[in-house]
Amino acid sequence: MKNKQDKNTDMSEKAIDLELVKQAQKGDIKAFELLVQRYQQKVGGVVSKLIKDYHEIQDITQDVFIKVYKALPKFRGDSAFYTWIYRIAINTAKNHLVAKGRRIQNSDIEPADAENFPSSFEHQNFDTPDAEYERQEIEKVVHDSIADLPDDLKKAIILREVDGLSYEEIAKEMDCPIGTVRSRIFRARDAVDSALKPLLQNEQKRANYVR
């Protein structure tokens, strides 16, 4: 059973992903770059369980994010972003092996297990000091915005995003109509969105200035 702090951390991570995805879907390249920074090590770790050559892992990881970028408009948040990107990574690695005429092994990897994979690829540090600072800023804003939510909104969004309950289950748990649940979740997401938007806009301006 997760404690309150663990749930808040999970909620922060999912909220960050959803906000970055939303901004990337609107054409914000900086938001997509931040998604790449957050997940390229994990994607490389997953790919390395099927493919051992380091240079091939790098190439396939790059292909994964090209596919993610193209498919991003189709992502609706029905599953966690990592689960979605993990499936793309596995399929891309499998297709690479098939194209090379190699056997596919370890294809029954689960997303939850893959998150904790140790691999030589994951030991590579892709984060610059600026990228790490940006990540920490975003995490702080999301965590604080969730902490500041009224209890009913906070509970609804955690039940949905962390515990994975359906709207019907949340309505039963909170003893309220489904319409109220949808409203609370929408308002919670909107609050996080509003808190993060200025930060992401500033990062985009900073990136444009550097270029």
Q: Give the pLDDT confidence score for residue 26 in this predicted structure.
A: 85
Averaged confidence pLDDT in the chain: 77
186-190: long-range contacts at Cβ-Cβ below 8 A with a sequence spacing of 24 or more? 187/153, 188/146, 188/149, 188/153, 188/154, 188/156, 188/157, 189/15, 189/18, 189/157
What pLDDT band is residue 168 in, cutting at 50, 70 and 90?
Answer: very high
Could you tell me the residue range of the domain that residue 155 belongs to?
Answer: 4-210
What pLDDT band is residue 209 in, cutting at 50, 70 and 90?
Answer: very low
- The model carries a pTM of 0.60
Per the structure, the count of domains in the chain is 1
Phi-psi category of residue 101: left, alpha or beta, with phi > 0 → left and psi -120 to 50 → alpha: left
Residue 108 tokens read as 């029954």
Please give the DSSP secondary-structure letter assigned to residue 100. T
17 vs 3: which has the higher pLDDT: 17
Closest CA to 85 of 59, 103, 63: 63
Amino acid present at 68: V
Closest CA to 7 of 122, 157, 134, 120: 157
Here the CATH number for the domain that contains residue 25 is 1.10.1740.10
Q: Give the pLDDT confidence score for residue 10 in this predicted structure.
A: 58
Question: Which of 2-6, 91-95, 105-109, 120-124 has the highest average model confidence (pLDDT)?
Answer: 91-95
